[in-house]
Chain A
């Protein structure tokens, strides 16, 4: 399994500001995924971040709102821009396992509360 560290683990933010979440993995991975878990809801994929290329966003998510960086094979950032209370969620970084059996490993998430 992979060890995934996310920062911050939680934060309280003001409306209209932006926050960048960092994800560090203990091994090199080609793919990284960013998910959102709104309060009491399931996980929704925001985007896939491959090193060396632009992130691929899912329907309903756009780069201007959720810019992603992927500077190397062990690190990625997700920025939540111009936040509103509707952005209050847990944001999770995930990576595939080393053996291609399909599962993903998840960080503990970054819980954002927007006032």
Chain B
């Protein structure tokens, strides 16, 4: 079945540091890929997405590129802020040929940014 593997956290960075959170996946067909973020005490929000190979999703300074050859969707940000402290989840939806609309999530990576 489909699965998502994320790097374990917590990741602790100083403000303005470069961020990478690794995500790799296993899926049949052609899945869409997502990063969701969960800020402390808040619900799950979509951060960015990519629906086909080589697409780059971006939002709020975060980027991720859909790499089919390495089955990866790593999250990056050039300069993190304290306000980016949250838990980040990589997720995929079933490919168009599967018809599966539910998302499969990775284990989540907690990011702590220190001033």
Contacts and interface: CB of A to CB of B under 8 A. Distances in A.
Given A101-B32, A102-B32, A102-B51, A42 B105 contact: yes
Contacts of A114: none
In which size bucket is the chain A interface?
Answer: 20 to 34
Interface of B: 31-32, 34, 42-46, 49, 51, 89, 93, 101-108
A106 B44 contact: yes
Contact of B49 (A43, A94, A101, A105): A101
A108 B49 contact: no
Nearest to B100: A48
Contacts of A101: 32, 49, 51
A112 B89 CA distance: 22
A31 B106 CA distance: 22
Interface of B is mostly: strand
A103 B59 CA distance: 15
A13 interface: no
Contact of A109 (B34, B43, B51): B43
A96 interface: yes
Given A92-B44, A102-B34, A41 B102 contact: no
A76 to B, nearest CB: 14
Contacts, number: 53
A104 interface: yes
B107 A104 contact: no
A105 B102 contact: no
Contacts of A96: 101
Given A31-B101, A41-B107, A96-B101, A107 B43 contact: yes
Interface string A16-46: 0000000000000001010000000111110
Contacts of B101: 31, 33, 48, 96, 102, 104
Interface centre among B42, B45, B93, B103 (most CB of A within 10 A): B103
A42 B108 contact: yes
23 contacts: A33-B102, A41-B107, A42-B105, A43-B44, A45-B102, A45-B103, A45-B104, A48-B102, A92-B43, A101-B32, A101-B49, A101-B51, A102-B31, A102-B49, A103-B32, A103-B34, A103-B46, A103-B93, A103-B103, A105-B46, A106-B44, A108-B42, A109-B44
